[in-house]
């Protein structure tokens, strides 16, 4: 038996039962094709958002962010800005196709340290 990639067109039927009851799903690219992986992440997020589920897609690939490119977006303030500079998550989140997207944001010299401390902003809710 050989492994073959799952066609992204079938995600709508598969994702809902997989994420049901889950508060957090982490997608990690297991391919050298980061553009394909980013497109698949968007497809998973859109499929999870079907039927009214609130979904946030956050680009945590700080060293080489690509999620904004796949969606045709210009980079904006993002998760780095929230953690390092106190920008609110509400300001960094943009609703696209029923998914709240948070870009990677500003450059950080120490990406490994970014997630080791509390965000500078106070808790906020996505609208």
pLDDT in tens, 61-115: 888 888 999 888 887 899 999 888 889 988 999 999 889 999 999 888 878 777 7
Nearest to 99 by CA among 25, 34, 37, 14: 25
Is 9 among the domain residues? no
Q: Does residue 127 form part of some domain?
A: no
User: Which tokens hold the place of 65?
Assistant: 């962010």
Looking at the structure of the chain, the number of domains it has is 1
Q: How many CB atoms lie within 10 A of CB 53?
A: 14
Q: What is the C-alpha to C-alpha distance for residues 62 and 105, in angstroms, rounded to an integer?
A: 8
Q: Which two tokens stand for residue 103?
A: 């870009």
Domain with residue 40: its CATH number is 3.40.50.300
Beta strands in the chain (DSSP E): 56-58, 93-96, 99-102
CA distance 80 to 82: 5
Is residue 98 assigned to a domain? yes
How confident is the model at residue 103, as a pLDDT?
92
Domain range spanning residue 80? 23-114
Is position 120 within any domain? no
In a domain, 125, yes or no: no
Residue 64 lies in a domain: yes
Provide the percentage of residues in the chain whose pLDDT is more than 90.
Answer: 14
């Amino acid at each position: 038996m050989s492994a073959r990639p799952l066609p992204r067109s079938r995600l709508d039927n598969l994702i809902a039962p997989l994420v049901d009851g889950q508060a957090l799903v982490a997608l990690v690219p297991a391919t050298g094709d980061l553009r394909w992986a980013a497109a698949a992440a968007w497809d998973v997020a859109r499929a999870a958002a079907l039927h009214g589920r609130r979904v946030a897609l956050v680009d945590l690939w700080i060293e080489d962010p690509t999620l904004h490119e796949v969606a045709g977006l210009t980079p904006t303030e993002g998760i780095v800005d929230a953690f390092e500079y106190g920008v609110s998550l509400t300001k960094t989140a943009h609703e696209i196709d029923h998914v709240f997207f948070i870009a990677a944001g500003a450059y950080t010299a120490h990406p490994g340290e970014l997630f080791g401390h509390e965000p500078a902003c106070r808790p906020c809710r996505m609208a």
